[in-house]
Amino acid sequence: MSQSRDRAPAPPATRALSPRTLTAQALGRVAEPYRDLVPPLHASTTFERAGDGSYPGGRLYSRDFSPAYDQAEELLTTLEGGHQALLFASGMAAATAVLQALEPGQRIVACRSMYWALRNWLVAFAQQWKLDLAFYDNADLDGMVALLREAPTTLLWLETPANPTWEVIDIAAAVSAARAGGTTVLVDSTVATPVFSQPLKLGADIVMHSATKYLNGHSDVIAGALVCREDGPLWQRIRRNRNLGGAVLGPFEAWLLLRGMRTLQLRVQQSAANALAIAQALEGHPGLVEVLYPGLPSHPQHAIAARQMQGGFGGMLSIRSTGGEARSRAVTARLQVFKRATSLGSVESLAEHRASVEGPGSPCPPDLIRLSVGIEAAEDLIDDLKEALAD
């Protein structure tokens, strides 16, 4: 039985194309037989066998070999400079597929601040699976290295910039430390996106995205993705988890994801430009304790961010209001252009009082307002925030 994937032919490679061109044209594919410029939607769940039992189309069943996934996976692999990508039904499905590929008793060193739902799941799963789980403060490279040296470690989990306080860790330095002990390095690069950062090129083994966010960019698809630097036993177990666990996208969601990715470069660059303008406009505001954004020279890890994020610092920032939690909630409630909603990475700007969303046990400062900056006019967003901050 063949499990190969038959690909639509790529355009002739007359010269190297920029990521912006490859993204806008979804790798430049033209579908046969009608020469569709818009990728077709592949809805079939099953594929015909030949009379001898072989699979002339190279497909068996869509749970793991749907042509609906191919183009988005190949585009993401190209943008990240990786070996292979896998799409999942959500960012959580992608993350848990990695963690469930570990063996009971193995050790994970993970950043203390990460996507809150994943952190809660990871703590419970580590107890159930008898994993040795240790947390380091997100920007504390020395602390992370100490944990790696403390005991043999199977997986190092990085998130940079880290949600919701946007610390940045030096990926290359973390990889160097992990290599000494044979540790696999995964980077959650949802916020940086492949537009600004390619962790695999810095030595990471796996990069993860909640594709719901910037990759799709329109708040209408839940999806996740993993990209590996090279094949290996762990990646094969992850593939098996996706196949047998069934945490895959439907064909329409995969089609929407690819459509969203075609504008990735423009959307992300505009969001980052807006976020920087907001951070600069609000830094030093009397109604704020702090503006948290890696693009500001005052950010503690600005130099690291400038070195490993090329062309921008992302569209996420947080502000900490004077007056504590009560005033932060009031400021959030007064916003008009920013929409009060959970999520990030879409074309519309969102705001939320993050600690109340995460609930008891959250390490998020109670005075913090998380901002996901969209592609609206920056002056409208700045005015909205200043009006909400005016007492």
Please give the positions annotated as active site.
63, 115, 188, 213
Residue 77 region by backbone torsions, left for phi larger than 0, else alpha for psi between -120 and 50, else beta: alpha
Residues 6 or more apart whose CB falls under 8 angstroms from that of 80 comprise: 194, 198, 199, 200, 207, 227
Q: Does residue 385 contact residue 328 with C-beta atoms inside 8 Å?
A: no
Find out whether 156 and 181 touch, Cβ atoms under 8 Å.
no
**Segments of 58-147 assigned E as strands:** 84-88, 107-111, 132-136
Buried b (16+ CB within 10 A) or exposed e, 341-354: eeebbbebbbbbbb
In angstroms, how far apart are the furthest CA atoms of the chain? 77
Q: Which residues of 37-53 are buried (b: 16+ CB within 10 A; e: fewer)?
A: eebeebeeeebeeeeee
Contact 213, 94 (CB under 8 A): no
Output the CA torsion sign for 303, 141, 316, 311: positive
Contacting residues for 198 by C-beta, under 8 A, at least 6 apart: 79, 80, 81, 207
Query: Half-sphere exposure of 17 toward its Cβ, with a 13 Å CA cutoff?
Result: 18
Cα 348 vs. chain centroid, distance in angstroms? 18
Cβ contacts of 88 within 8 Å, gap of 6 or more: 94, 97, 223, 224, 225, 226, 242, 247, 248, 249
User: How far from each other are the two terminal CA atoms of the chain, in whole angstroms?
Assistant: 69
Alpha-carbon 146 to chain mean position: 27
Q: Give dist(CA 383, CA 374) in Å, integer.
A: 15
Total residue count of the chain as it appears in this document: 391
